[in-house]
Amino acid sequence: MSNARVAPYGNWTSAISAEAVAAQGLSANIEDVILDVATSKAYFAQGRPEENGRSAIVDATDYRDLFDLSWDARTQVHEYGGAASVVFDGVLYFSHILDYRVYKTTKDGTPVPVTPVNPNQRFADFTVHPAHPKLIVCTAEDHTNPHPAKVVTRLVLINTETSTVSRLVEGADFYACARFSPDGKFLVWQQWYHPELPWQSAEIALASVIVSADGQNLGVGPTIHVAGQTGVVCAMDPIWISNKSLVFLSDISGYLNPWIFTFDSSNALDASKASPILPKPIEEEFGAPQWYLSRHASGALSETKVAFISFREGRSMLYVCDVTQGVLVEVPTPYALIDCVHGDRKGNVFMLGASSHANGVLAQLTLSADGSPQLRSLSPPAAEDNRLDPRFISIPEYHALTLPPDNRTCHANYYAPKNPKYDGGLAGEKPPVVVRIHGGPFAMEPAKLSWAKQFFTSRGWAYVDINYGGSTGFGRAFRESLHGKWGLLDIADAHQSVLKLDTLGLVDAARAVVHGGSAGGYSVLQIATTLPTAFAAGSPHYGVSDMRKLDEILHKFEYYLCDRLMGGKWEECESVWRERSPIYHVDRIKMPMLFLQGEDDTVVPADQMIKMVETIKGRGGKAEIVLFSGEGHGWRRASTIRIALERQLTFFNEVLGTGAEV
């Protein structure tokens, strides 16, 4: 017999404390999957917040670290990093973040450098030549001239015996995904040019590989264009399925779908044509934006079968496809988000999977004797998964909302209030709601487990993630709808989505509060200055407030981001940039505001937020700021996460009169 009782929403007592959420948020987590294609053995990169945030490389068989605490396998190529290591035939090669050099492990596990000392050089996304493993090709960034327009990115060759680095391919502004064919006779890669981001347009290129007679060097033949078109089509994430066939993704149809490129001989290479694998395109986005070089959405099981990941209704879908037939077979999984996919062409695909009810795991997909797919977890049972009562977990509901005035679609993940001690709110009551606006802004909030969301839902709040126009995972047109409209479309989608969910009886729009970090924090500030009565309260976390200042500090990867999002350069439309910079319109803010800000933030200076608070309070408004010493643009400390959650809950309760905990 249930002892659950009825109590007003927003006033429930919860066992999920902010301290527990902080511990979850800073627990060790899998960041990347690494596959040794020579041995079919899997490894993973694991973030260790308790070890000064370093990334360790772990053997997935016995969970043994491959190096000690003094090493950190991370990189800052393209600033966001990813793909900092590779393992081939049992030997680990990795980029060490503290000096940017590449190291290899020896038999006793001690890393030794294989690149010379040069703090201006960064390396990532490695591929080892299968016949000459001393030779490695990777993406390299040269920061000799640190100005974003002067940083040079190219493909380079590293000879790990002589510790030399030589140029291999250059001319484009960016490179990624360089991969040797299984026999080492060809090299494929992805490239793109300013002002594009890789998901806006990119090309796949291919060249023959010429190894020197002594095996100490290699070069490439003439470049062959495989797919993609600058400014028009994105072609990305190439993988080899055989010596003469590769698979990649193209959004020429409006959605990233799988394509194949096959050639019979090197003589016919330039005459070969890429073609779609599926008989007709489907409206699902295969692949994800390459913020991180470790993001991959396909892995070869064999020369004819490939595992693909797509997004449908905001969740990852796993397929096995026979590329000769163009038939997708859906594989059921418990995961809401699947990423970092790698295949060995020998019947194994490894991936990172995160569900709506448990932390992320390393998973393996295999084919049984009859060809049916089998999926299993390789991660050990994590104590963190069971530390908090699973009965408190609110599983998200996906909603495709049709919004006025133009009947556009906005995607939302709705988390209902849930607590085993309570059986709903008062008669006729709709719950207060916390609305989160994700960062990026070209990102997408997946439906994977977040204890910070459960912190609110277990207290009788609803929680909504808004995947507004511009979010990825819903096709090119939806993503590009934000071009020229950042600060307009995102906030309209957030506001109208809450009103729509209110009409569905899921939330109380009069008791809606909004928060978000970085680009999401910008949207919160834009709401406060543009739609000042749309929400009951707002909490920007290190929110961007000045478009011109943001533009001045952007790195090479995002150098033209603001131009695209504002609809033109500062010199071309200064009035637009100013109108969409909340720093100039603080006098419009009416709703109560809680600012959460790192004192060491170089993207959003703390003094900007302090002045905003002073202006709001000087006009008689309600505003508070919490400054975190030692924090920058994002939270790294458990104490910061805990205090930020506690202060938000207290602030929202003060505004709405909730939090009685009955």
537-541 and 593-598 as β-strands: parallel, antiparallel, unpaired?
parallel
What is the mean pLDDT of the segment spanning 51-67? 92
Per the structure block, which two tokens stand in for 75?
């990189």
Across the chain, mean pLDDT equals 94
Domain count, the chain: 1
Place of tokens 């609809």: 567
> Is 610 within the bounds of a domain?
yes
Residues 6+ apart with CB under 8 A from 476: 234, 251, 254, 255
Q: Report the CATH number at residue 651.
A: 3.40.50.1820
pLDDT in tens, 348-372: 999 999 999 888 899 999 988 887 8
Question: Would you say residue 386 has pLDDT above 60?
Answer: no
Inter-residue contact 143 to 151 (CB < 8 Å): yes
Is residue 468 domain-resident? yes
Q: Is the pLDDT of residue 28 over 80?
A: no
pLDDT higher than 90, residue 573: yes
238-283 per-position pLDDT tens digit:
999 999 999 999 999 999 999 999 987 665 566 678 999 999 999 9
Could you tell me if residue 516 is inside a domain? yes
Query: Could you tell me which residue, 255 or 47, shows the higher pLDDT?
Result: 255
Flag whether 337 is in a domain: no
In a domain, 244, yes or no: no
- 517-571 residue pLDDT tens: 999 999 999 999 999 999 999 999 999 999 999 999 999 999 999 999 999 999 9
At residue 267, the pLDDT reads: 58
* 3-state secondary structure (DSSP) of residue 573: coil
d(CA 380, CA 25): 19
Nearest to 156 by CA among 141, 166, 164: 166
d(CA 305, CA 320): 7
pTM above 0.85, yes or no: yes
Rounded to an integer, what distance in angstroms lies between the CA atom of residue 348 and that of residue 367?
A: 8
Whether 32 is covered by a domain: the verdict is no
| pLDDT over threshold 80, residue 581 | yes
Q: Which residue has the higher pLDDT, 479 or 630?
A: 479
Q: Which two tokens stand for residue 491?
A: 């906030």
Q: How confident is the model at residue 384 (pLDDT cuts 50, 70, 90)?
A: very low
642 domain-assigned: yes
**Cα(344)–Cα(341) distance, rounded to whole angstroms?**
11
| Rounded Cα distance, 503 and 483, in Å | 30
Q: Please, are residues 13 and 661 in contact by the beta-carbon 8 Å criterion?
A: yes
pLDDT at 373: 87
Q: Residue 170 burial by CB count (10 A; 0-12/13-18/19+): exposed, middle or buried?
A: middle
Residue 592 lies inside a defined structural domain of this protein: yes
Q: Which two tokens stand for residue 517?
A: 């970090």
Q: What integer is the mean pLDDT of 93-112?
A: 93
Q: Which two tokens stand for residue 138?
A: 């990777």
Domain range for 581: 389-656
Q: Is 227 a residue whose pLDDT tops 90?
A: yes
Residue 636: per-residue pLDDT: 79
